[in-house]
Structure 1
């Protein structure tokens, strides 16, 4: 039996100033004054009202997919989430929520990039009052504070930092203008792809010792390590910790999720692959590819179709070129179709380094929509 290729994360020395210097974090945050709203942090009891506010803002932006109450609720259990520090919601004189913001922080174990991601919105009835501008300033300031805090760890102090926000192609132009005015610039573009499942799906098999198996709890961390190796050369991607890997699973569809293992490998466990990570014991099947799917049933009526969604598709770098991604994706499409789905859907980085867009095109996927990442690079 062969041995797996080790997948270590290396951090190079850099002469750049400390992250505290580059982040230039404000000592206090500028709480919005526009619109005469009253501001406070989110609470778990706010989940239904927050989801309703997000739905109203997203609908006004022209979207046909929405943030569900379940997705809002699971935010409270995500790693690094601190509602008191990282969230804000504005209420009018009737205590109705009219605007919100969240500066999301990420685990720093093994990273080569420090990140914070911003999200927020204003109810359509309160737009044009300057609330969004001040809310963005608050969220950006909070993100700068969060990144600057990493300076306390000498392993992180000299790493690059990024504050990001995501914009859909169909969003109002004012959102792009707002981000640009706040110092953000578009840096990366993504495409939403769809595939009509009424068109026959090819069957692509694997040759031994590779074998496709169902997603299972015992292989969760083995799949996480395969994902970390697969995405090491992808823009903006950082390793997932066990906690972050299991977060945001409200729409996870295990019946549509699959793994590929190499049965010729005598896997010595995650401690051998990632020193200090003992989550995967020796003798566990060696996962080399993964397809993780989502079932976003709450969007089907507004979108006008049913779909199985590929949340994550990855292959270990040493195993690329062996049709693993194609086998996983076509197997998943057959599972989608078997369960009555009309389409298969996924998102892809248009500059994906693995040639994924070409694979999707060969399998019949076509572009349905697009988006962009706007960032401040530190």
Structure 2
């Protein structure tokens, strides 16, 4: 007999499993585990424990709490395997939300119902101040917790990732705004006005976002060596981020697909040629020379622009232009305009740096009905031409 159960007080059962002999002392080793519930439930747990021992997936229970493990995971894994900005977000989620709510539970005793109850609580009143968190935010918490528990399984601390048995909340799709062609001139006029007051190249930054679909951090990380003005090409190689301590860092993108080649429109290439001449003249005035590693979009002295100041500036400009837009909506506008113009989704996906074409089509599914109508009309037209 490999194991047995023994009734204890308060409706609990002890599961005892023979684990073999100690190779050094020769003494028999037994694994004890306490479970709550009926005798039938205890017998099922005993069978499952024996099965895990037989197939090699048994993990000896340890007295580590979820909080202790998450702190260790942050320090030993996340700190050296994620981008600084990503690590900041992970740390905030773990320390402000996951540990206060799940940290006291023993790691091996964490159950799906614990996690599901936390998600419900977070949605109703999970903010540090007051109110509930959004479904999208709680979904981010789920991803971080699930990733951490995956490593607990890899490291032999858990037999399975219980977060995989939990359904995170489904966030509603955020309404996407795009700029109409007739509003572009008004937007750029307002950007030019703010540019004169601030000295920052807002008009060209926003034009680059609209004409290429690049992300804010990717645009601000551009160096002149990343731009081939003769061939009208931009090589997206890095992204610029601002950490909470104010430090500006430039790193490679998280995914291989984010590194890409983007063809420029002739009007954008022309503007960048003029901007390069102006930037070179500014550097000469300071007794410096414009280098290949010089930032394309920078302050007068060549230092990097804080990305956290660019989005609020755009919001002011858009408001003055009478538009309800975020800076990221210029990226959406680029994709929408290209898709409606008949550009193949694969090309659009590559320009945006998406991981898959499926993600692009899902994100811009609102454009698909119009493309379907145009495709049907084009097919009909081709039939008529062949018949004639």
TM-score of the two chains, using structure 1 as the length reference: 0.29
Higher relative contact order (CA 8 A, sep 6+): 1
TM-score of the two chains, using structure 2 as the length reference: 0.29
Higher helix content, 1 or 2: 2
